[in-house]
């Protein structure tokens, strides 16, 4: 469920994450591969206070693979290794454990040298609503899901999920809030479905998406909706609107008198986009933001 964030929510969410941080070794930061920056909490560095972390670019199956590769390089330049994953099918999810072990390689080696059996690494998944946290937890837990129960000294009620013998995950993720203030970020979040449609009107979101598709993915757009010609003057809103209407016409979003039901046409385009039916689409590139 998407929540509308108010300062009170943010403070509570932050406090909850800070409480959980005390229990864990590594933060697994989940971002949406289609909008890695817009789906990132703007205060994340401050909140994590230097805790080791890894970045996962989820919904990789829906994102443009070339652009995701650019994002991986972008994060690498910032000293963060980002792994593209698809939590819904489990693709590349197996790379998470080796990455966690890599982060603790020195510590583990020291423990082994001292004859201590290294304990499982404790991880916490964090991310904004709808980014795929629960899906990833379920995927990691797999069939062999086993909560290890409350451990001494650990906050009551927190359950651990065993991912093999080497990783324990907190069963409830840390919920972060996205940054709404920037209008462009708001639109990108709305297009991916991370924020409620009521916050922005559906035809505004679809208009934004359509303009972006015409500019960046014209061939995929033409093919999906059987459109022959796309406008060249994107600064003219009427031209963009005409494409939206053409989609509505093709898909039967017509009301009496042959008028196009714009809301219906908007929902069609957004549903197709979110389901990956137009193709693998990324909505932001490192150079653009
Ligand atoms: N295509 C695709 N869909 C995904 C992927 N991961 C999650 N989803 C879908 O994204 C939606 C949200 O996933 P959740 O796991 O509920 O997200 P969440 O972050 O736990 O959401 P909140 O409970 O709102 O915080 C669901 O419809 C999932 O099926 C993925 O890798 N690819």
Q: In this predicted model, what pLDDT tens digit does every residue of 81-137 receive, in sequence order?
A: 999 999 999 999 999 999 999 999 888 889 899 999 889 999 999 999 999 999 999
Our answer on whether the CB atom of 280 is closer than 6 Å to any ligand 1 atom is: no
Residue 122 CA to ligand 1 centre (angstroms): 22
Our answer on whether the CB atom of 125 is closer than 6 Å to any ligand 1 atom is: no
Our answer on whether the CB atom of 175 is closer than 6 Å to any ligand 1 atom is: yes
Domains of the chain by start residue, with CATH: 8-171 (3.40.50.300), 201-274 (1.10.1580.10)
Alpha-carbon dihedral angle through residues 266, 269, 273, 277, given to the nearest 10 degrees: 160
User: Following DSSP, what letter does each residue of 56-115 receive, concatenated?
Assistant: EEE-TTTS-HHHHHHHHHHHHHTT--EEE-BTTTTBTGGGHHHHHHHHTHHHHHHHHHTT
Residue 244 CA to ligand 1 centre (angstroms): 27
Stretch 187-193: mean pLDDT, rounded? Answer: 94
Question: Which of 31, 135, 175 to mutate for ligand 1's pocket (most ligand atoms within 8 Å of CB)?
Answer: 135
**What was the pLDDT predicted at 289?**
65
Structure tokens belonging to residue 261: 């039901």
CA distance 102 to 90: 20
**What was the pLDDT predicted at 197?**
67
Q: In this predicted model, what pLDDT tens digit does every residue of 130-170 receive, in sequence order?
A: 999 999 999 998 854 434 444 444 445 678 999 889 999 99
Our answer on whether the CB atom of 105 is closer than 6 Å to any ligand 1 atom is: no
Count the helix, strand and coil residues of the chain and give each as a percent rounded to the nearest 5: 45, 15, 40
User: Side-chain half-sphere of 161: how many Cα atoms within 13 Å?
Assistant: 20
CA distance 236 to 225: 21
Question: Which of 17, 28, 130, 177 to mutate for ligand 1's pocket (most ligand atoms within 8 Å of CB)?
Answer: 130
In terms of Cβ atoms closer than 10 Å to its own Cβ (0-12, 13-18, 19+), residue 170 is buried
Stretch 48-66: mean pLDDT, rounded? Answer: 96
CA distance 129 to 194: 6
**What was the pLDDT predicted at 179?**
84
CA distance 67 to 259: 38
158: three-class secondary structure by DSSP: coil
Structure tokens belonging to residue 86: 């698809």
For atom 12 of ligand 1, the residue with the nearest CA is 130
Lowest-confidence pick of 24-33, 109-118, 221-230, 262-271: 109-118
Structure tokens belonging to residue 73: 């390089």
DSSP 232: S
Residue 167 CA to ligand 1 centre (angstroms): 22
Our answer on whether the CB atom of 195 is closer than 6 Å to any ligand 1 atom is: no
Tell me: pLDDT of 238 over 50.
Answer: yes
Residue 7 CA to ligand 1 centre (angstroms): 25
Structure tokens belonging to residue 25: 């070794």
**What was the pLDDT predicted at 111?**
87
Identify the helix (H) or strand (E) that includes residue 124.
strand 121-127
Q: In this predicted model, what pLDDT tens digit does every residue of 197-221 receive, in sequence order?
A: 667 899 999 999 999 999 999 999 9
Structure tokens belonging to residue 198: 């009521």
> What is the position in ligand 1's atom list of the atom closest to the CA of 138?
15
């Amino acid at each position: 469920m998407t929540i509308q964030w108010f300062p009170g929510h943010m403070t509570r969410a932050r406090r909850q994450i800070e409480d959980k941080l005390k229990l864990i070794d590594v933060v697994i930061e989940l971002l949406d591969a289609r909008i890695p920056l817009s789906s990132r909490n703007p205060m994340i560095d401050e909140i994590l206070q230097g805790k080791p972390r890894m970045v996962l670019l989820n919904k990789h199956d829906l994102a443009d693979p070339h652009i995701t590769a650019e994002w991986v390089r972008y994060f690498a330049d910032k000293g963060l290794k980002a792994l593209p994953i698809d939590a819904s099918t489990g693709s590349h999810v197996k790379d998470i454990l080796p990455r966690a072990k890599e982060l603790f390689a020195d510590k583990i080696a020291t423990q082994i040298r001292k004859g201590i059996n290294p304990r499982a690494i404790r991880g916490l998944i964090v991310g904004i609503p709808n980014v795929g946290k629960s899906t990833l937890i379920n995927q990691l837990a797999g069939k062999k899901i086993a909560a290890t129960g409350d451990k001494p000294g650990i906050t009551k009620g927190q359950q651990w999920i065993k991912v093999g013998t080497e990783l324990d995950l907190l069963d409830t993720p840390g919920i972060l809030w996205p940054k709404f203030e920037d209008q462009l970020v708001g639109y990108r979040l709305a297009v991916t479905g991370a924020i409620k449609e009521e916050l922005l009107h559906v035809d505004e979101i679809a208009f934004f998406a359509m303009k972006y598709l015409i500019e960046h993915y014209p061939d995929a757009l033409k093919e999906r909706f059987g459109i022959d010609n796309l406008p060249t003057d994107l600064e003219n809103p009427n031209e963009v609107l005409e494409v939206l209407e053409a989609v509505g016409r093709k898909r039967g979003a017509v009301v009496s008198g042959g008028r196009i039901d714009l809301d219906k046409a908007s929902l069609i385009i957004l549903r197709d986009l979110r389901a990956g039916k137009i193709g693998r689409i990324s909505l932001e590139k490192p150079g653009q933001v």
